[in-house]
Amino acid sequence: MNNMLQPGATIGILGGGQLGRMLALAAHKLGLKAHIYCPDPQSPAFEVTPHKTVADYEDEVALKNFAEAVDLVTYEFENVPAATAQKILELNVPLAPGTKALATAQDRLTEKSFIEQAGVPVAPFANVESQGDLEEAVQTIGLPAVLKTRRFGYDGKGQLFLHKPEDVPGAFKALGENPCVLEGFVAFDREISVIIARSANGDITAYDPAENVHQNAILHTSTVPANISDHVAQQAVDAASKIATSLNYVGVMGVEFFVSDDNAQLVVNEIAPRVHNSGHWTEAACVISQFEQHIRAIANWPLGDTSRHSNVVMTNLLGENIAKVTQPVSPGAMVHHYGKYEVRPGRKLGHINQISPKID
Amino acid sequence: MNNMLQPGATIGILGGGQLGRMLALAAHKLGLKAHIYCPDPQSPAFEVTPHKTVADYEDEVALKNFAEAVDLVTYEFENVPAATAQKILELNVPLAPGTKALATAQDRLTEKSFIEQAGVPVAPFANVESQGDLEEAVQTIGLPAVLKTRRFGYDGKGQLFLHKPEDVPGAFKALGENPCVLEGFVAFDREISVIIARSANGDITAYDPAENVHQNAILHTSTVPANISDHVAQQAVDAASKIATSLNYVGVMGVEFFVSDDNAQLVVNEIAPRVHNSGHWTEAACVISQFEQHIRAIANWPLGDTSRHSNVVMTNLLGENIAKVTQPVSPGAMVHHYGKYEVRPGRKLGHINQISPKID
């Protein structure tokens, strides 16, 4: 990881969704090539580069050919199978962020234990591998609480909110009897996130925290600046830095926080070892986007400037809202369409960034 | 041209250099596909899309297949052969900007006559088809003057500066006895350019004029705001609008001006019926770049916001200066590498945009 990739080198990207697509576009701006690996032949990222592999993540022959065609591998999603990551490394191709970040983010129990050990506050949590475990955990943590599968949850999937004692029986079964964690409910009035980048030599840069609003458990808007004190903002950046350093992380990471009602304390909700939806605003309000910053970090280029020239609100375009992209553009607004042409309710198809003059 | 291209449609781009590449990247951001047509198999634009045709511009079979694969054709350079443009139209594929813009910009005599007829000032000029014509033109226009080939000139190529009477004999021969124009020398203290966009329904938007500095006849920097009065800025935008309207132009056009020593008058130097090097700053200082604006105009989408959130200096990276892309990034700076890997002196390989807070 200590060699700098030169323009003309090829970055392999596992995953062909909008994040992989935007990473490829950012790589192109730096004169780097992009090779997308994804099992879905309809992947939108395939439309922005001539280099692709359509194969399952477990296909060892395809992985070998992919590894031979690229100089470095990164990924757009945290559920890259451990065996896939291992295979890349065995083929002597660097993988960034590394396997520790992947393993940590793939399992909520590992993730929360890790964050706690890094000295960063998380909500109280307990391991739940049976209905008995759950009942015991409720005794310790109390209600309300949230039961979450340890693996493969996203956008509110694989979660069950336990309001009162009657919600507890059957809850473990309702989530498919998969290994879970029970998380204590955090009374918060806002959610924020920090997009942070760390380079191989330990340099860290962070974008300003964004304030995130979810609808139906899917991100709706990210607003910057967030309505938080400078002290909380600094705490959030410090916490994200601690996590990145403890993971020996290389690349861009998103860290989501809950901010308590008194706007004085925060706990980490979760980490994403990749570019993050709540960082799409950087594309319009900073000269170097999170996508470019990720490429810079993994290519071992000096990190770019994360300062913000404008205030901004990013709004996701889900499902039919994507029709807004061809409508008149307000002053200060830009649209981004992900090149996904099948419109399904709730599907992330694009976003709008609305900037305005910076007033701090 | 009155139908709006929908996301998923394919834009064909004649020319595979950095302008074609940046147009393709902008198309991707809007969910449009890009198909690059270029005879040079090493074209940098081929690296940012899976759709390409490697063929001569005169290859009728290749043009037919290309036309069938795309929904609309545009170009990144004004020297698209007239027969190529005609062939596209015969195949019933829209071409934007249209053939009038191409024909006008390809020939300096046609261009200057057209601009004059549109009521916009140009330097005095005369047609030169022989050494005798040249001597006659020098009588009328005087010296100093500049002799330019009517076709295929760029970056100072195909030009001869005539300082004194001794420079006149042999000048026509020195430019290969090609048809030329003689242009009266304009005493100016700065060069500016306006990047303007016009849609099929006649809507016009303009970016702020940039002040351009050339070195060895190649653009070195573009600075915005230009050091000109508001009156001159408005005159420049009005002149560019007149030209675009007279051409019934659709797309982005660059118009270069000389501003006279007293900062009160301007004349058009030349027009470029395409995105322009002196508009690369829009990528960093506006939410909608000239590349996206061009795609919006030709796709018949509403034009985007051209307002500027920051001051900016764009510096071209020529030849070995491209090495700067992997160096540390100053606050407010972003680099762009064009994906051209053969470094030759004077070759345009990238640019740096340096933004700073807007102070008008």
Residues B113-133: what's their mean pLDDT? Answer: 96
Query: Which tokens belong to B18?
Result: 């950095």
Both A246 and A307 in one domain: the answer is yes
Chain A residues 161-220 within an 8 A CB cutoff of chain B: none
Q: How far apart are CA A280 and CA A221, in angstroms?
A: 10
Q: Which pLDDT belongs to residue A1?
A: 44
Q: Which residues of B touch A341 (CB under 8 A)?
A: 7-8, 31
Q: Write out pLDDT tens, residues A97-122.
A: 999 999 999 999 999 999 999 999 99
Chain B residues 285-304 within an 8 A CB cutoff of chain A: 287-288, 292, 301-304
Q: Write out pLDDT tens, residues A275-314.
A: 999 999 999 999 999 999 999 999 999 999 999 999 999 9
Question: What residues does A124 pair with on adjacent strands?
Answer: none
- Does the beta-carbon distance from A337 to B47 stay under 8 Å? no
Average pLDDT value for chain A? 95
Both B195 and B153 in one domain: the answer is no
Q: Which residues of B touch A52 (CB under 8 A)?
A: 50
Do B197 and B205 contact (CB within 8 A), yes or no? yes
Q: How far apart are CA B305 and CA B292, in angstroms?
A: 11
- Nearest CB partner across the interface for B309, out of A6, A301, A355: A355
CA dihedral sign, ordered A234, B327, A52, B290: positive
Q: How far apart are CA B115 and CA A224, in angstroms?
A: 46
Query: Which tokens belong to A15?
Result: 């995953």
Helix A18-29 vs helix A290-298: crossing angle, to nearest 10: 70
Domain boundary, last residue among A75, A95, A115: A95
DSSP A276-334: -GGGTTHHHHSSS-HHHHHHHHHTTPPP-----SEEEEEEEEEGGGGGGGGSPPPTTEE
> With pLDDT > 70 as the criterion, what percentage of chain A qualifies?
98
CATH code of the domain covering residue A34: 3.40.50.20
Q: Write out pLDDT tens, residues B321-353.
A: 999 999 999 999 999 999 999 999 999 999 999
- Does the beta-carbon distance from B339 to A31 stay under 8 Å? yes
- Nearest CB partner across the interface for A47, out of B6, B50, B339: B50
Q: Is the pLDDT of residue A183 over 60?
A: yes
Both B177 and B299 in one domain: the answer is no
Residue B2: pLDDT band by 50, 70, 90 thresholds? low
The DSSP 8-state label assigned to residue B279 in this structure reads: G
Both B31 and B85 in one domain: the answer is yes
Q: How far apart are CA A193 and CA A267, in angstroms?
A: 11
Both A137 and A257 in one domain: the answer is no
Report ipTM for this prediction: 0.96
- Does the beta-carbon distance from A337 to B7 stay under 8 Å? yes
- Does the beta-carbon distance from B7 to A339 stay under 8 Å? yes
Tell me, yes or no, whether A131 lies in a domain: yes
Both A208 and A335 in one domain: the answer is yes
Q: How far is CA A187 from CA A45, A258, A267, in A?
A: 39, 8, 11
- Nearest CB partner across the interface for A302, out of B329, B334, B336: B329
Q: Which pLDDT belongs to residue B360?
A: 56
Tell me, yes or no, whether A111 lies in a domain: no
Average pLDDT value for chain B? 95
The helix (H) or strand (E) run that includes residue A62 is helix A60-69
Domain boundary, last residue among B55, B76, B95: B95
- Does the beta-carbon distance from A304 to B334 stay under 8 Å? yes
Do A85 and A91 contact (CB within 8 A), yes or no? no
- Does the beta-carbon distance from B329 to A304 stay under 8 Å? yes
Both A153 and A220 in one domain: the answer is no
Question: What residues does A205 pair with on adjacent strands?
Answer: A197
Q: Which residue of B has its CA nearest to A25?
A: B25
- Does the beta-carbon distance from B329 to A303 stay under 8 Å? yes
Q: How far apart are CA B119 and CA B238, in angstroms?
A: 11
CATH code of the domain covering residue B294: 3.30.470.20
- Does the beta-carbon distance from B7 to A333 stay under 8 Å? no
What residues of A are designated binding site?
A: 108, 148, 153-159, 183-186, 191, 214, 269-270
Q: Which pLDDT belongs to residue B187?
A: 83
Both A340 and A217 in one domain: the answer is yes
Query: Which tokens belong to B3?
Result: 């139908």
Tell me, yes or no, whether A138 lies in a domain: yes
B7 CB within 8 Å of a chain A CB: yes
Q: How far apart are CA A44 and CA A25, in angstroms?
A: 12
A33 CB within 8 Å of a chain B CB: yes
Q: Which pLDDT belongs to residue A215?
A: 94
Residues A223-241: what's their mean pLDDT? Answer: 95
- Nearest CB partner across the interface for B307, out of A30, A303, A331: A331
Query: Which tokens belong to A39?
Result: 């099992």
Tell me, yes or no, whether A104 lies in a domain: no
How, if at all, do strands B33-38 and B348-357 pair?
Answer: unpaired
- Does the beta-carbon distance from A305 to B333 stay under 8 Å? yes
The values of phi and psi at residue B231, to 5°, are -65, -45
Q: Write out pLDDT tens, residues B204-244.
A: 999 999 999 999 989 999 999 999 999 999 999 999 999 99
- Nearest CB partner across the interface for B287, out of A47, A284, A303: A284
Chain A residues 44-103 within an 8 A CB cutoff of chain B: 46-50, 52
A152 CB within 8 Å of a chain B CB: no
Q: Which residue of A has its CA nearest to B297?
A: A326
Tell me, yes or no, whether B223 lies in a domain: yes
- Does the beta-carbon distance from B309 to A305 stay under 8 Å? no
Q: Which pLDDT belongs to residue A2?
A: 54
Report the half-sphere exposure of B347 (CA within 13 A, side-chain side): 16
Residue A360: pLDDT band by 50, 70, 90 thresholds? low
Tell me, yes or no, whether B115 lies in a domain: no
Q: Which of A60, A61, A63, A56 is nearest to A35 (CA)?
A: A63
Q: Which of A309, A314, A359 is best to mutate for the B interface (most B CBs within 10 A)?
A: A309
B8 CB within 8 Å of a chain A CB: yes
Tell me, yes or no, whether A317 lies in a domain: yes
Do A298 and A74 contact (CB within 8 A), yes or no? yes
Out of B26-30, B263-267, B281-285, pick the least confident. B263-267
B158 among the known binding-site residues? yes
Q: Which pLDDT belongs to residue A8?
A: 97
Q: Which pLDDT belongs to residue A74?
A: 98
Query: Within a 10 A sphere around the Cβ of B186, how many other Cβ atoms?
Result: 21
Both A204 and A332 in one domain: the answer is yes
Tell me, yes or no, whether B316 lies in a domain: yes
Both A43 and A139 in one domain: the answer is no
B184 among the known binding-site residues? yes
Residues B118-142: what's their mean pLDDT? Answer: 95
Q: How far apart are CA B271 and CA B68, in angstroms?
A: 31
Residue B1: pLDDT band by 50, 70, 90 thresholds? very low
Q: Write out pLDDT tens, residues B168-193.
A: 999 999 999 999 999 998 888 899 99
Q: Which pLDDT belongs to residue B143?
A: 95
> Do you know the residue count of chain B?
360
- Nearest CB partner across the interface for B325, out of A31, A49, A329: A31
B35 CB within 8 Å of a chain A CB: no
Q: Which residues of B touch A205 (CB under 8 A)?
A: none
Q: Which residue of A has its CA nearest to B343?
A: A7
Q: How far apart are CA A230 and CA A226, in angstroms?
A: 10
Domain span at residue B238 reads 188-357
Q: Which residue of B has its CA nearest to A301?
A: B326
Q: Which pLDDT belongs to residue B163?
A: 95
Both A200 and A328 in one domain: the answer is yes
CATH code of the domain covering residue B130: 3.30.1490.20
Q: What's the 3-state SS for B26-83?
A: HHHHECCEEEEEECCCCCHHHHHCCEEEECCCCCHHHHHHHHHHCCEEEECCCCCCHH
Domain boundary, last residue among B184, B199, B230: B184
* Total of domains in chain B: 3
Q: Which of A236, A194, A191 is nearest to A215 (CA)?
A: A191
Q: Which residues of B touch A310 (CB under 8 A)?
A: 309
> With pLDDT > 90 as the criterion, what percentage of chain B qualifies?
93
Both B85 and B152 in one domain: the answer is no
- Does the beta-carbon distance from B29 to A327 stay under 8 Å? no
- Nearest CB partner across the interface for B33, out of A47, A50, A305: A47
Chain B residues 310-329 within an 8 A CB cutoff of chain A: 310, 322, 325-329
Q: Which pLDDT belongs to residue B157?
A: 79
Residues B2-21: what's their mean pLDDT? Answer: 95
Do A22 and A291 contact (CB within 8 A), yes or no? yes
Q: Write out pLDDT tens, residues A300-359.
A: 999 999 999 999 999 999 999 999 999 999 999 999 999 999 999 999 999 999 999 997
- Nearest CB partner across the interface for A287, out of B49, B338, B355: B355
